[in-house]
Structure 1
Amino acid sequence: MTQLNALDSELAQELGDFSEDDLDVVFTPKECRTLQPSLPEEGAELDPHVRDCVRTYIRDWLIQAAPNHLNVLSRVSGRTTLTSSDFDLRSLQPDPRLENLLRHVSAENFERQNEEARRTNRPTELFALYPNIDEEDAVEIRPVPECPKEHLGNRILVKLQALKFDIEIEPLFACIALYDIKERKKISENFHCDLNSEQFKGFLRSHTPCIDSSSQARSAVFSVTYSSPDIYLVIEKVLQQGEIGDCAEPYMVLKESEGGKNKEKIEKLKTQAESFCQRLGRYRMPFAWASISLTSFFNSSTLEREVLEAENFNGKGSPGDRRTMTLQTRRLSERSLNSEDVYAMSNFKTTTLTVNTFLKQEGDRLSDEDLFKFLADYKRSSSLQRRVKSIPGFLKLEISPASEGLSCCLSPELLQVKPFPENRSRPQKEILEFPIREVYVPHTVYR
């Protein structure tokens, strides 16, 4: 308690009513996933209140640990144990009578007995009269809750391995994000990936004199807490050159393999692209996109069936059975907040996917709302699929479950996640999730 008073006098005042043997205060180191905690930039001026709030993210946990013994009701010899499920008080046996409770004692003798009792070790003897506690007779055992930790949903690892078109004339940049079409929401940040050759990277050298190692990532870890059958992984290629329609036309009509006049046109387009990159290389623009459904990677049907069976059973059976099934239903509902239990990923192994056709981006449809509408219409309308102009190409990516001990990974704040070896130059990035519904867990890191 002395250490607690020095640390936080206000909290110590609230705990002052407890004696030292009733409450144990323990400092537990806070677990940090990254090598360095997430903090504001150095030199940033913060309001004193904000500065104190930030400190809570790196301060050790202060736990009110339970004492070694259990404060419970115990069984008295010859008496039935009273538990929370006992409602028939008439069946309980009365307490045994205290001997000499009603015997008349004079005031002088009473004072003399008290004086003799004060000379003895009465406190120790007093508590010794109470029988030893048997853990089996405990009315209630409260488990110690776990320390809060950072929430992570179902995690998938996406590796981009190749991105090519029939002609190669300029730098291309892949941009990946998750969209929930049913909820009409974007549920992740963008992951930008550079798959260009050294030749095309040279087109932008004057605009990127220094390249950070984090920009070299070609693998991303996406987190999904609430799954649905309409989650799409949208891949958007971004380039810099003219109007969108003019940019797409050469990719739809030219092929380097045909040679002849096509080769001359391709070289001319490459020269123009190099000139554009030198003047406007820091800007990007939409070009084309493709969608990949992640339905096969998530399976929530098992839990939904369990909840439905429990709800249907609540109106049947004995009262005890109904209470049991109601409790199970409530527990299943509580599990809906735990992504590790509910939206468990299907038993799939590492899967390699290829995309051979990309949809041309329309200049008047660039917002997320346009994308939601188009994906929904494109999914259910075969005639729309035939009308949409496509661009031939080749995209190869690998999708697999992300293990907990993934090495050489960067957090959404670009902090190094443990374990992080020093001799690896191409990291993997964790992409921040935007859950479609609130996740009721405390925030444990500064973001």
Structure 2
Amino acid sequence: MSEPKKLHLTAFMRPVSLHTGAWRYPGSYADANFNLAHLKSFIQKLEAAKFDAFFMADHLAVLNMPVEALKRSHTVTSFEPFTLLAALSAVTEKIGLAATASTTYDEPYHIARRFASLDHLSNGRAAWNIVTTGNPESAKNFGLDEHVEHSERYKRAREFYDVVTGLWDSFADDAFPRDVESGIYLDPEKMHILNHKGKELKVRGPLNIARPVQGWPVIVQAGQSEPGRQLAAETAEVVFCSPKDLKAAKELYADIKGRVTAAGRDPKHLKILPAALIIIGDTVEDAKAKRLVLDSRVHYDSAIASLSIALGTDASGFDPDGPLPDDIPETNASKTSQAGVIRLAKEENLTVKQLAQRYGGYSGLAFVGTPESIADDFGIWLAEEAADGFTVVLPFLPQGLDDVTQRLVPELQRRGLFRSEYEGTTLREHLGLPRPKNQFFS
């Protein structure tokens, strides 16, 4: 008889909350996003609660919104993910360490080397969130005047994955005998030179670091567009996504899992973890009141800027009290994001101002209620194959984190929906994922 399914939980921690008003919520740490002592306490609480991973997004541009909005954003200063995760690896033992790294504005050798290093430093807890940078402002920080086209970004990403994983397999697991008597440190027969020459990339190799502890760091993929889903099916082991409700989540889950099977992979080896804002109260009404307070902390300057980012076009000239215009120009940023804005505006008949306020705070999937009601919902999503778990978005820090780790997690554990102890020491063990075989050495 098979073991009953359990949820996997990761915490979205860069920024420490995706809600724009989080840093202004009563009792919150205003500097939580850029304070090592706070971040250390956050990850240790998450590890004590047996979370699978601490997940860090990343962005490569500051000037992605008007300065009037930027001055109100807690994301304007954040630690570089690898530097922070290396530091946090030293004060934790088992929780996974996931970082976003762009295939659009970086090189495969850099990415392969950084993640291999993090995996060794953490004894097998690293994960790579593959992204194609959607923010057009990023291009200007990397010598380009125009953003790379959407389709071209995904072509590069697919080849980029092949190069990085090939570099991770540069050495057999036993390539380094380090025989003091003979003076042999490396067995050259167990070193592979990649010599990749593709349409987008040219990389010789080998990587100048031993094969990662996990074979490969866990592969995470974010994106729900058609090419994003296919990239996930072919490469990912965890999918970070943002369906708007249970029905949409079930459709996305079935589609991606079906693509995984079609690609010749085991669908159990890909975990789908939607992002979900979690707000907990003593009653459902109490939790809803907390959200009202949180949303009230979002300034309209930030709200309209957030709407502009989500649409991929400047919304500041739209009539605040009118509907979203029908002639929104096609974007070269995130097409999934723009489509979601347009759909939400139509479904709920929102004015531009109402839409901006929603996006200025947090417009994604949210569970707002008691530990018991949220555990009910989590159980339904797991049972109905809408998710294998969740990427928890915290509403404010530290109280929102304490509510999740000290109130929700014990309720999930009581119901048998979440682990009480880690399954092992590596992130692959937590997620029930196999260690990849080396492509070049049996």
Q: Please give the TM-score of this superposition, normalised by the length of structure 2.
A: 0.18
Higher strand share: 1
